[in-house]
Structure 1
Amino acid sequence: MPLGQPPEGEQNPYSQDPYQQSWGPQPSSGGGGGGGNRAKAVAIAAATTVVVAAGVSGALILGGGKDDSADGRGGDTNAPASASPSATASASASASGHPHAGESERPTVPGWKVVVNPKWGTAFDAPPDWVVKPPDLIIGFEDSKVDYSDPHNWGKTVIVMSAPAVLRENWCLSVDDKSGRTHGTDLAAAGTKGAQGAESTDDVALSQVTRWVYGGYTQPDKKSIVSDRTAQPYTTVSGIKGSIAWARSRNTPRKGTCESDGKAVTFGFKNSAGDFVAWSLYGATGVKDELPDSTIMKILSTVRLHGTPRPSAS
């Protein structure tokens, strides 16, 4: 399926079906040895114009964004921002004025937390040690070619999702030698995004899952990604039918203190409005505290419909 057009002058790494294209080497952006140049993330308060720090990388972004494109490019913003590197993504929670959705909800797994995405009309449960972020927060991974010294080269994202839950925020900290910014890497995160333009639930799962591994763990390298070539049917405990696909990286060339291999799973389904939606979870692999696949599948099993989705244009 068409995966959208990249900004002028930028090559979209998934401009074709990622399982049909040649995964040739890409030039490095020359990122610093401290933070590396791959696992950089964005965090955007979607409904506000608030300067916030990324939950995964510490990158500072100003303004809003979208999470509804099938190709993952929703949420791009090129507005410059300035703030102290010590700021945290929690700033968006208080500044947005919106309480965390799900605080009064009952989880399907006793003792877990409910994570609600009111825009897409979905919910899932997260284990008690996860942090539930505001529903209007968008997180994701930015392109490794982003240059913080150039205000015109900000905000090019690889993939985003909204209303996330995060496991061990700032699990690892490093300083980017090039920008001097402190980057905090999360151990894992999960959330939901739209899949406008998708043709099927298989299409949703396959077109998005590899982006999470590429954006968070391997870019600019593509050779180390191992992914499902066909999606598998899956039904959640609540009865939602859709498709899942996995992607992992192995032996990715590493340049930074906090960089590791990673994995991701995406569940493609339709919400009550008939819109295609993608629920995704990504996490570091080959590390001491790696999130087990069994726990990931238990979290995935709790995905369910919740309330009336907002219009896609909202």
Structure 2
Amino acid sequence: MWSGQPPGDERDLHRQNPRRQPPGGGDRAKVVAVVAVTAIVAAVGLSGFLLLGAKDDRADGGGNTAAPPSASKSATASASASPEPHSSGTERPTVPGWKVVVNPKFGTAFDVPAGWKIEKPSELIGYEDSTLDYSDPANWGKSIVVMSAPAIFRENWCLSDGDKNGRMENTSLAMVGTKGSQGSKSTAEVAVGLADLWVYGGYTQPDRKNIVHDRTAQPYTTRSGVKGSIAWARSRDTPRKDRCDSDGKAITFGFKNSAGGFVAWSLVGATGVKGELPDATIMKILSTVRLHGKPTES
């Protein structure tokens, strides 16, 4: 559905040190992008690409403002020892025993089960393009799709050395977050286009033939009264090149925040595997999406 850079995509990111992988695995998962906007955040033994200096997670046509990639081992080690980000103290979960994920940039909040790991609101996570040569600085910052203020389910779900470089890589089972979608014309467009991109980026790229996705979005209203549109996408019989490879699924809820800006809430995860996040749980998480104050970004 999208051509070129999709609405809400990152354009000003720089590739940095290995960190970890979101849902996916093997050759596909190593194109994962994890972004710490305000600090270097890296963990020993985890893989993926750490991207620094992001201005936002929308397609605003802005130039690359990030500094060139550079980080010492001592800096990354120090950052990894920092406390785990926690829920907002002013927002309470609507589901007893769950935790709140707040994204001040877009003025949103939602709940996740207690076992999920909540990242800092300034972090972005998503997928780079496996067809691009990232040794070329001209390709730094080009990604398929990203989201901010993510929460991760079973971060260490699978461990493998997919690229045979001697370093074991972690793959998580699922992740969820929100992003801006500047340039979109409707909540339905947001939902259909981004659900497809998440499955493509994490599970099937560089091919789309294994993706089955909703062609039209369905209206949806959260328990707090936020109205918008939802769409699903799933992969089927994707070739396995690594023990952590699997099929995947994604759902995106497109809506508007209190400033009238289009926002996409997306959850993506592995499917057809032991411990798969049930669709019922996904819909329960989605039902908690709500507006949270005035967005810091329009």
Give TM-score scaled by structure 2 length.
0.82
Query: 1:264 is aligned with what amino acid?
Result: A
Determine which of 159, 162, 183 is the counterpart of 2:169. 183
Cα distance between partner residues in 2 of 1:175 and 1:53: 16
RMSD: 3.3
Change in Cα spacing, 1:199 to 1:179, as seen in structure 2 (3 Å) is farther
Report the residue type matching 1:216 in the other structure. G
Alpha carbons 2:45, 2:168 under 8 Å: kept: no
Inter-partner Cα distance in structure 1 for 2:164 and 2:203:
19
Change (3 A) 1:39 1:219: farther
Is 1:229 aligned to residue 215 of structure 2? yes
Aligned AA (1:61): L
Separation in structure 1 between the aligned mates of residue 72 and residue 101 of structure 2, nearest angstrom: 29
- 3-state SS of paired residue (1:263): strand
The structural deviation recorded for 1:152 is 5.7
Matched position secondary structure for 1:282: strand
> Are the structure 2 counterparts of residues 233 and 110 from structure 1 closer, same or farther at C-alpha, using a change threshold of 3 Å?
same
1:109-124 equivalent positions in 2, closer than 5 A:
109-124=95-110
Judge which range, 49-58 or 255-264, deviates more.
Answer: 49-58
Corresponding position of 2:27:
36
Residues 32-70 of structure 1, C-alpha deviations (whole Å, 9 max, x = no match): xx9323453111112x25253699843233332421239
For 1:27, the equivalent position in structure 2 comes to: none
* Structure 2 counterpart of 1:94, from 82, 92, 116: 82
C-alpha distance in 2 between matches for 1:133 and 1:272: 23
Task: Determine which of 95, 99, 112 is the counterpart of 1:126.
Answer: 112
CA distance in 2, matches of 1:131, 1:74: 32
Q: Call closer, same or farther: CA 1:214–1:105 in 2, change over 3 Å.
A: same
Is 2:210–2:236's contact at 8 Å kept on the other side of the alignment? yes
Residues 243-281 of structure 1: CA deviation (Å, up to 9, x unaligned): 000000000112122110000000000000000100000
Q: Which residue in 2 is equivalent to 1:19?
A: none
Contact in 2 for aligned 1:111/1:128 (Cα 8 Å): yes
Query: How many Å separate the matches in 1 of 2:266 and 2:296?
Result: 20
CA distance in 1, matches of 2:26, 2:203: 12
Whichever residue aligns with residue 42 of structure 2, its letter is V
Structure 1: gaps spanning 5 or more residues: 7-11, 13-33
CA shift at 1:235, angstroms?
Answer: 0.3
State the alpha-carbon separation in 1 of the partners of residues 153 and 65 from structure 2: 24
2:155 aligned residue: 169
SS at match of 2:152: strand
Mapped contact 2:28–2:202 kept (Cα < 8 A): no
Alignment of 1:4-19 (within 5 A): 5-6=4-5
SS of the residue 1:37 aligns to: helix
Task: Find 2:225's aligned residue among 239, 253, 256.
Answer: 239
Cα drift, residue 201 of structure 1: 0.6
CA distance in structure 2 between the aligned counterparts of 1:230 and 1:203, rounded to whole angstroms: 9
Quote the Cα distance in structure 2 between the aligned partners of 1:199 and 1:239: 21
Partner AA of 2:106 in structure 1 = W
* Unpaired stretches in structure 2, ≥5 consecutive residues: 7-24
Distance 1:77 1:232 in 2: 38
Alignment match, 2:258: 272
Aligned mates of 1:4, 1:222 — CA distance in 2: 14
Aligned to 1:67: 57
Cα distance between partner residues in 1 of 2:282 and 2:194: 17
SS at match of 1:91: helix
Aligned length: 278
Q: Which residue of 2 aligns with 1:210?
A: 196
Closer, same or farther: CA 229–4 of 1 in aligned 2, 3 Å: closer
Alpha-carbon deviation of 1:83? 6.2
Q: Give CA deviations for 1:170-212 in whole Å, capped at 9, x if unaligned.
A: 2112224365554321100100000100001101101111010
The answer to whether the Cα contact below 8 Å between 2:251 and 2:268 also exists between their aligned partners in 1 is: yes
TM-score by length of 1: 0.78
CA, structure 1 residues 266+77, in 2 after alignment: closer, same or farther (shift >3 Å)?
farther
